[in-house]
Amino acid sequence: MNTRAKPTVVLQEILATDNGKHPCIMRLLVKEARDYTEKQAIKYIRVEDGALPEGWQNPWVPLYQTLPPLPSGIWNVADLHKPREGSELAYSNLKTIRWHQTVQPWHDTTVDYFDLNKELLLPFMHAKHCRADTLWLVKHDLFGPQFVLMKIAETPNDMERIARETEVYCAIRGTSIAPVFLGHIREEGRIIGFLVEYLQDCTHPDGKDYDACKVALGRLHSNGYLHGDAHAGNFLLQPDGTALLIDFEFSQRCGDIAKFEQEQEELRQELVPEQDGTLKLGLHA
């Protein structure tokens, strides 16, 4: 007779809430305890529309006081809903999903998500008005005392973009088009993100830096890729005046010269000053 108890699952931190997606998904850091041992794990809660108060994704909303205790047992995905009007929140559809390996690893280095020491969430992530786990400055023994940049897929919905970006970094490795790719990040046996060098002295360009950005984008085009989101915020201007590209989530292979020219023209229209001296710098996520 099997008398082993189901593992207890205790919420440690709500890491991310993907604001604006349906269904919204929470990324949870939990502690699982069974047979006198404890381990950390990541679980996902799909939130039914209307189950939580409006604005619940915001970091300052005290969700801990709202969520019911997590179910015991072995699972990594569950739904949160209200069975009927006025009833208490409840979990349902507990599942253990074996995630597909969407990202194709190519680098020799792979580190575990739980081995990264998070130091600083990038400041602009706070403007998204939701809990975020995507972009952190982290430390790891492999890289000594310096910061490196972590980028991950917070939820399974984000895996395709991480896979696309990882592919581009592979294609342009050794070209100095982008910051140096340092390795993959593993979670629960699959690749969920990557590490790149953190370039503290870089800034974002303005109109006078258009030529450097044009060269960087042209080098990406020469490697057969459209960037897909080539605005000023996705360029890093180095102290020597050269530019690097970042954020390849929307990049795609391309052999169409007209599309390359169109992307260059869109960049020019954004960065090159108008006759009155102003820039066409838009707001970008």
At 214-243, the pLDDT tens digits run: 999 999 999 999 999 999 999 999 999 999
Q: Torsion-angle region of residue 14: left (phi > 0), alpha (psi -120 to 50) or beta?
A: beta
Question: Residue 273, CB half-sphere, CA atoms under 13 Å: how many?
Answer: 8
Query: pLDDT for 61-84, tens place per residue?
Result: 777 778 889 999 999 999 999 877
Q: What is the pLDDT of residue 219?
A: 98
Higher confidence at residue 116 or residue 4?
A: 116
Q: What is the pLDDT of residue 175?
A: 96
* Residue 1 reports pLDDT greater than 80: no
* Residue 276 reports pLDDT greater than 50: no
Q: How far is the C-alpha of 41 from the C-alpha of 205, rounded, in Å?
A: 40
Q: What is the pLDDT of residue 126?
A: 57
Alpha-helical regions (H) of the chain: 159-171, 210-222, 257-271
Query: Which of these ranges, 5-19, 53-67, 128-142, 247-261, has the smallest mean pLDDT?
Result: 53-67
Q: What is the DSSP-derived secondary structure letter of residue 203? A: B
Q: What is the pLDDT of residue 128?
A: 62
What amino acid is encoded at 275 in this protein?
A: Q
* Residue 116 reports pLDDT greater than 50: yes
In the chain, pLDDT over 70 holds for what percent of residues? 89
Query: Which of these ranges, 71-80, 124-133, 165-174, 194-203, has the smallest mean pLDDT?
Result: 124-133
Cross-sheet strand order for the sheet of 77-81: 8-17, 24-34, 37-47, 77-81, 90-95
Residue 201: pLDDT band with limits 50, 70, 90: very high
Q: What domains can be seen in the chain, in order of their start residue?
A: 8-92 (no CATH), 110-197 (3.30.200), 209-271 (1.10.510.10)
Residues 71/94, Cβ–Cβ less than 8 Å: yes
Residue 284: pLDDT band with limits 50, 70, 90: very low
* Residue 94 reports pLDDT greater than 50: yes
The CA-atom distances, in angstroms, between 242 and each of 197, 205, 212, 272 are: 16, 10, 5, 17
Q: What is the pLDDT of residue 237?
A: 96
